[in-house]
Amino acid sequence: MAATKDLKTKTLSINMGPQHPATHGVLRLVLELDGETVVKCKPYVGYLHRGTEKLGENRTYPMALPLSDRLDYVSSMANNIGFCVAVEKLLGIEVPERAKYIRTIMAELTRIANHIVWIATHALDIGAMTVFLYSMRDREWILELFEMACGARLTVTYPRIGGVRADVDQEFLDHCYKFTEAFPKLVEQYETLIDQNRIWLQRTKGIGVLSAEEAINWGLTGPTLRGSGVPYDVRKFAPYDAYDKVQFEVPVGKAGDVYDRYRCRMEEFRQSNSIIRQCLEKLPGGLVLSPDAPGYELAAGPRKKPAPPAPPPKAEGAPAPDAAQAAAPPPPPPEPPAPAFEEVYVATEVPKGELGFYFISDGTGKPYRMRIRSPSYVHASVLPRMCEGSLVADVIANIGSIDIVLGECDR
């Protein structure tokens, strides 16, 4: 038998995923292990790539809207809103006030629903089973609210370019109000289960630490960035919809570890609840869809340009039509102008971070280029930095704390 000193060790490469329940989708990590320590971590994405950007370029703007549901299927409403806000900016459509408030309510309900799924799965990964049962029970409430508003629960396509599809009724508002009254107590319930739990603290405190400069340099957004103490929130930096009319705080962490990111999201539960409350109280009346909103029949060809200035009305006594026609032969149709490319990049704060839509228009009803800047993609890219040097068990905690959905990552 060989003496112990003659034994050689070598690193071992293993696959985590793509069908691993703790990778939150089809994320594949190739881990090089030295015992239980991760020496190298290589993420592989793309298993859920559906070519959303290419598809978007071949559809008109309203027809491309349902594609955005399929990005982050946990918070589809927020993706829809991000898409609509961007197209509205590109086409110069003004949204009615009531629609803005309804959208804000929906976006915040989505944020709560998303964070519920996040806390459920994140806690489950780390080993706290009970939170899953409680929080998924409460998510049902929000899905029912969505169903009440638009008939769909998961892929809603409720917002429209220029507003929302249908007005909400009193029953929805009553239920929503009841939810906001009950929800703060439910958040406390989740917190009692894990907030001071010794195992939870050991698994999350001081794990996956990112400093503020590093987090910015990596391009992280949302609670993942705010956990490192950077108060960057698109809702504050470039307000859209009704966010400039409501009061809320942006919770930030200090240490930049898994625990602080968890605390940020728990505080966001309360802030979102307060935003919904304020919107319900301030909800104005009026239209929910702008009259300028493009319908599904939006032409794929040249989009309607602003009408040329109307000819000055004829002074007193309009001449007979025949005489007018004889006097001025109809002018030849103007040459179609060379396509002028117009471009906007509009970001919205979806539950996972900054979702940006970059549209380039060539003046037709279809986007010339539709680029989706998805937070999950950027967050997945930081995994090697977080995991290398840590233990295998911490990889799971790290994946949970950056809150990724691979549908959005792979697009």
Which of residues 360 and 391 has its CB atom nearest to another protein in the complex?
360
Q: Shortest approach of another protein to residue 238 CB, angstroms?
A: 8
Strand pairing partners for 353? 350
Which of residues 131 and 220 has its CB atom nearest to another protein in the complex?
220
Q: Find all residues with CB under 8 Å of 59, minimum gap 6, and list them.
A: 67, 366
Which of residues 18 and 144 has its CB atom nearest to another protein in the complex?
18
Q: How far apart are CA 100 and CA 106, in angstroms?
A: 10
Which of residues 37 and 381 has its CB atom nearest to another protein in the complex?
381
Q: How far apart are CA 71 and CA 214, in angstroms?
A: 27
Cα-to-chain-centroid distance, residue 67: 13
Which of residues 115 and 411 has its CB atom nearest to another protein in the complex?
411
Q: How far apart are CA 79 and CA 299, in angstroms?
A: 24
Q: How far apart are CA 143 and CA 149, in angstroms?
A: 10
Q: Shortest approach of another protein to residue 175 CB, angstroms?
A: 37
Which of residues 218 and 243 has its CB atom nearest to another protein in the complex?
218
Question: Is residue 399 left, alpha or beta, with left meaning phi > 0 and alpha meaning psi from -120 to 50?
Answer: alpha
Q: Answer yes or no: are the C-beta atoms of 400 and 379 closer than 8 Å.
A: no
Q: How far apart are CA 136 and CA 149, in angstroms?
A: 20
Question: Two tokens at 85?
Answer: 């806000």
Q: Shortest approach of another protein to residue 219 CB, angstroms?
A: 3
Q: Shortest approach of another protein to residue 407 CB, angstroms?
A: 13
Q: How far apart are CA 82 and CA 347, in angstroms?
A: 7
312 HSE (CA, 13 A, CB side): 2
The 10 Å Cβ neighbour count of residue 335 is 6
Q: Shortest approach of another protein to residue 63 CB, angstroms?
A: 14
Q: How far apart are CA 372 and CA 357, in angstroms?
A: 5
Q: Would you give the DSSP letter of residue 36?
A: T
Which of residues 189 and 217 has its CB atom nearest to another protein in the complex?
217
The sign of the CA dihedral 174, 177, 179, 182 is: negative
The DSSP H or E segment spanning 215 is helix 212-217
Which of residues 49 and 178 has its CB atom nearest to another protein in the complex?
49
Q: Shortest approach of another protein to residue 32 CB, angstroms?
A: 15
Which of residues 67 and 142 has its CB atom nearest to another protein in the complex?
67
- Interface with another protein by CB under 8 A: which residues? 45-46, 49, 51, 53-55, 58, 89-90, 92, 213-214, 216-220, 230, 232, 237-238, 339, 341-345, 347, 354, 356, 358, 360, 362, 369, 371, 373, 377-378, 380-381, 385, 410-411
Which of residues 123 and 355 has its CB atom nearest to another protein in the complex?
355
Q: How far apart are CA 386 and CA 210, in angstroms?
A: 8
Q: Shortest approach of another protein to residue 405 CB, angstroms?
A: 15
Q: Shortest approach of another protein to residue 368 CB, angstroms?
A: 8
Q: Shortest approach of another protein to residue 369 CB, angstroms?
A: 5
Q: Shortest approach of another protein to residue 23 CB, angstroms?
A: 17
Q: Would you give the DSSP letter of residue 302?
A: B
Q: How far apart are CA 47 and CA 110, in angstroms?
A: 25
Q: How far apart are CA 34 and CA 39, in angstroms?
A: 6
